[in-house]
A and B are shown apart, each in its own frame.
Chain A
Amino acid sequence: MQEAVNAIVALMILANFLLLGTGSLRAAIRIVAIQGLALGLLPLLVHEKGLTLRLAIIAVLVILLKGIIIPRVLMKGLRELNTGRGITYYVGPVASLLIGILVMGSSLWWGYLLPLPDQPGYRLAIPMVFFTIISGLFLIVTRRQALMQIIGYLVLENGIYAFGVFFAQSESMLIEIGILLDVFVGVFIMGVMVFHISREFDSIEAGQLSTLKDWFRERRKSTETESPS
Chain B
Amino acid sequence: MSLEILLAAIAVLLLSGVASLIVRRSPGAATFVAVSGALLACLMGLVAAVIVLSGGGYDYLEWAWSIPGGSFALGVDALSAVFLIILFFVSIPVCLFGVPYLRTYGSRQNLGAAWFFTCLLIASMAMVVLARNAVLFLVSWELMSVSSFFLVTFEKGKPEARSASLIYLVAAHIGAALLLVLFLLLGRDGSLDFDQFSVAGNAGLLFILCLLGFGSKAGFVPMHVWLPEAHPAAPSHISALMSGVMIKMGIYGIFRTITFLGNPQPWWGWLLLGIGVTSGTLGVLFALAQHDVKRLLAYHSVENIGIIAMGLGLGLLGLSYGSLPIAVLGFGGAIFHVVNHALFKGLLFLSAGAMAHTTGTREMDKLGGLLKRMPWTASLFLVGSVAICGLPPLNGFASEFLVYMAGLYGSTGTIGGTAVAGLVGMSSLALIGGLAIACFTKVFGVVFLGEPRSVNAGDVHDASPTMTVSMMILGAACLAVGLLAPFAVKALIPVIAIIAHTPLGIAREAVTRATAPLYTVTSVSLILVGVILAAVLLRSMLLRGRIVRTAGTWDCGYAAPSARMQYTAPSFVLPITGLFNRVLKTRRHRERPDGLFPTAAAIETHTPDIFQERLFRPILAGTERLLGVFRWLQHGNVHIYVLYILITLLVLMFWKMR
Which residue of chain A is the closest to B640 with respect to CB atoms? A141
**Are A134 and B635 within 8 A (Cβ)?**
no
Tell me whether A110 and B635 are in contact in the complex, defined as CB-CB below 8 angstroms, given that A134-B646, A138-B646 are known contacts. no
Which residue of chain B is the closest to A193 with respect to CB atoms? B638
Q: Tell whether B546 is near chain A: CB-to-CB under 8 Å.
A: no
**Are A113 and B657 within 8 A (Cβ)?**
yes
Give the B interface residue count (CB, 8 A).
16
**Are B639 and A140 within 8 A (Cβ)?**
yes
The minimal Cβ–Cβ distance linking B166 to chain A, given in whole angstroms, is 15
Which residue of chain B is the closest to A107 with respect to CB atoms? B653
Identify which of residues 103-126 in chain A touch chain B, using a CB-to-CB cut-off of 8 Å: 106, 109-110, 113-114
**Are A212 and B639 within 8 A (Cβ)?**
no
**Are B639 and A207 within 8 A (Cβ)?**
yes
**Are B646 and A206 within 8 A (Cβ)?**
no
Chain A residues near B654: list those with CB within 8 A: 106
**Are B636 and A209 within 8 A (Cβ)?**
yes
Identify which of residues 622-654 in chain B touch chain A, using a CB-to-CB cut-off of 8 Å: 634-640, 642-643, 645-646, 649-650, 653-654
The minimal Cβ–Cβ distance linking A108 to chain B, given in whole angstroms, is 12
Option from B634, B638, B649, B650 in Cβ contact (under 8 Å) with A206: B638
Tell me whether A207 and B657 are in contact in the complex, defined as CB-CB below 8 angstroms, given that A137-B645, A137-B646 are known contacts. no
Which residue of chain A is the closest to B637 with respect to CB atoms? A210
**Are B649 and A134 within 8 A (Cβ)?**
yes
**Are A134 and B650 within 8 A (Cβ)?**
yes
**Are B657 and A206 within 8 A (Cβ)?**
no
The minimal Cβ–Cβ distance linking A171 to chain B, given in whole angstroms, is 16
**Are A213 and B646 within 8 A (Cβ)?**
no
Q: Tell whether A16 is near chain B: CB-to-CB under 8 Å.
A: no
**Are A141 and B643 within 8 A (Cβ)?**
yes
Q: Tell whether A149 is near chain B: CB-to-CB under 8 Å.
A: yes
The minimal Cβ–Cβ distance linking B201 to chain A, given in whole angstroms, is 41
Question: How far is B634's CA from A210's CA once the two chains are assembled, in angstroms?
Answer: 9
Tell me whether A141 and B646 are in contact in the complex, defined as CB-CB below 8 angstroms, given that A209-B636, A209-B637 are known contacts. yes
Question: How far is B657's CA from A130's CA once the two chains are assembled, in angstroms?
Answer: 13
Q: Tell whether A22 is near chain B: CB-to-CB under 8 Å.
A: no
Option from B638, B642, B646, B653 in Cβ contact (under 8 Å) with A110: B653
Question: How far is B637's CA from A211's CA once the two chains are assembled, in angstroms?
Answer: 9
**Are B657 and A110 within 8 A (Cβ)?**
yes
Chain B residues near A141: list those with CB within 8 A: 639-640, 642-643, 646
**Are A209 and B638 within 8 A (Cβ)?**
yes
**Are A90 and B639 within 8 A (Cβ)?**
yes
**Are A140 and B657 within 8 A (Cβ)?**
no
Chain B residues near A114: list those with CB within 8 A: 657
Question: How far is B636's CA from A110's CA once the two chains are assembled, in angstroms?
Answer: 33
Question: How far is B613's CA from A189's CA once the two chains are assembled, in angstroms?
Answer: 43
Q: Tell whether A142 is near chain B: CB-to-CB under 8 Å.
A: yes
**Are B635 and A142 within 8 A (Cβ)?**
no
Option from A138, A149, A213 in Cβ contact (under 8 Å) with B635: A213
Which residue of chain A is the closest to B639 with respect to CB atoms? A141
**Are A149 and B638 within 8 A (Cβ)?**
yes
Chain B residues near A90: list those with CB within 8 A: 639
Chain B residues near A209: list those with CB within 8 A: 636-638
Question: How far is B198's CA from A228's CA once the two chains are assembled, in angstroms?
Answer: 52
Interface string of B499-527 (1 = CB under 8 A from A): 00000000000000000000000000000
Interface string of A133-156 (1 = CB under 8 A from B): 110011011101000010000000
Chain A residues near B634: list those with CB within 8 A: 213
Question: How far is B638's CA from A211's CA once the two chains are assembled, in angstroms?
Answer: 11
The minimal Cβ–Cβ distance linking B636 to chain A, given in whole angstroms, is 3
The minimal Cβ–Cβ distance linking A77 to chain B, given in whole angstroms, is 18
Question: How far is B650's CA from A109's CA once the two chains are assembled, in angstroms?
Answer: 13
**Are A207 and B637 within 8 A (Cβ)?**
yes
**Are A137 and B637 within 8 A (Cβ)?**
no
The minimal Cβ–Cβ distance linking A68 to chain B, given in whole angstroms, is 27
Question: How far is B654's CA from A134's CA once the two chains are assembled, in angstroms?
Answer: 13
Question: How far is B643's CA from A85's CA once the two chains are assembled, in angstroms?
Answer: 25
Chain B residues near A213: list those with CB within 8 A: 634-636
The minimal Cβ–Cβ distance linking B191 to chain A, given in whole angstroms, is 26
Chain A residues near B645: list those with CB within 8 A: 137
Question: How far is B653's CA from A212's CA once the two chains are assembled, in angstroms?
Answer: 34
Question: How far is B642's CA from A153's CA once the two chains are assembled, in angstroms?
Answer: 11
Question: How far is B639's CA from A211's CA once the two chains are assembled, in angstroms?
Answer: 14
Chain A residues near B653: list those with CB within 8 A: 106, 110, 130
Which residue of chain A is the closest to B645 with respect to CB atoms? A137
The minimal Cβ–Cβ distance linking A224 to chain B, given in whole angstroms, is 13
Question: How far is B448's CA from A69's CA once the two chains are assembled, in angstroms?
Answer: 71
Question: How far is B638's CA from A142's CA once the two chains are assembled, in angstroms?
Answer: 10
Most central of B636, B643, B653 by chain A CB within 10 Å: B636
**Are A140 and B642 within 8 A (Cβ)?**
yes
Question: How far is B642's CA from A130's CA once the two chains are assembled, in angstroms?
Answer: 17
Question: How far is B236's CA from A144's CA once the two chains are assembled, in angstroms?
Answer: 53
Which residue of chain B is the closest to A113 with respect to CB atoms? B657
Question: How far is B649's CA from A130's CA once the two chains are assembled, in angstroms?
Answer: 11
Interface string of A181-212 (1 = CB under 8 A from B): 00000000000000000000000001101111
Interface string of B530-541 (1 = CB under 8 A from A): 000000000000
Identify which of residues 203-229 in chain A touch chain B, using a CB-to-CB cut-off of 8 Å: 206-207, 209-213
Chain B residues near A133: list those with CB within 8 A: 649
Question: How far is B650's CA from A138's CA once the two chains are assembled, in angstroms?
Answer: 11
Which residue of chain A is the closest to B653 with respect to CB atoms? A110
Question: How far is B380's CA from A16's CA once the two chains are assembled, in angstroms?
Answer: 77
Question: How far is B653's CA from A211's CA once the two chains are assembled, in angstroms?
Answer: 34
Which residue of chain A is the closest to B635 with respect to CB atoms? A210
Which residue of chain A is the closest to B644 with respect to CB atoms? A141
Chain A residues near B642: list those with CB within 8 A: 137, 140-141, 149
Option from B636, B638, B640, B649 in Cβ contact (under 8 Å) with A137: B649
The minimal Cβ–Cβ distance linking A48 to chain B, given in whole angstroms, is 29
Question: How far is B649's CA from A134's CA once the two chains are assembled, in angstroms?
Answer: 9
Chain B residues near A130: list those with CB within 8 A: 653
The minimal Cβ–Cβ distance linking B344 to chain A, given in whole angstroms, is 36
The minimal Cβ–Cβ distance linking A187 to chain B, given in whole angstroms, is 16
Interface string of B400-436 (1 = CB under 8 A from A): 0000000000000000000000000000000000000
Chain A residues near B639: list those with CB within 8 A: 90, 140-142, 144, 206-207
Most central of B639, B646, B653 by chain A CB within 10 Å: B639
The minimal Cβ–Cβ distance linking B349 to chain A, given in whole angstroms, is 29
Question: How far is B649's CA from A212's CA once the two chains are assembled, in angstroms?
Answer: 28
Question: How far is B640's CA from A142's CA once the two chains are assembled, in angstroms?
Answer: 9
Residues of A within 8 A of B (CB): 90, 106, 109-110, 113-114, 130, 133-134, 137-138, 140-142, 144, 149, 206-207, 209-213
21 contacts between A and B (CB under 8 A): A90-B639, A106-B653, A109-B657, A110-B653, A130-B653, A133-B649, A134-B646, A137-B645, A137-B646, A137-B649, A140-B638, A140-B639, A140-B642, A141-B643, A141-B646, A142-B639, A206-B639, A207-B639, A210-B635, A210-B636, A211-B636
- Told that A207-B637, A210-B635 touch, could you supply 10 new A-B pairs with CB distance under 8 A? A106-B654, A114-B657, A133-B649, A134-B649, A140-B639, A141-B642, A142-B639, A206-B639, A207-B638, A213-B634
Closest A-B pairs by Cβ, 4 of them = A213-B636, A210-B636, A137-B646, A140-B642
Residues of B within 8 A of A (CB): 634-640, 642-643, 645-646, 649-650, 653-654, 657
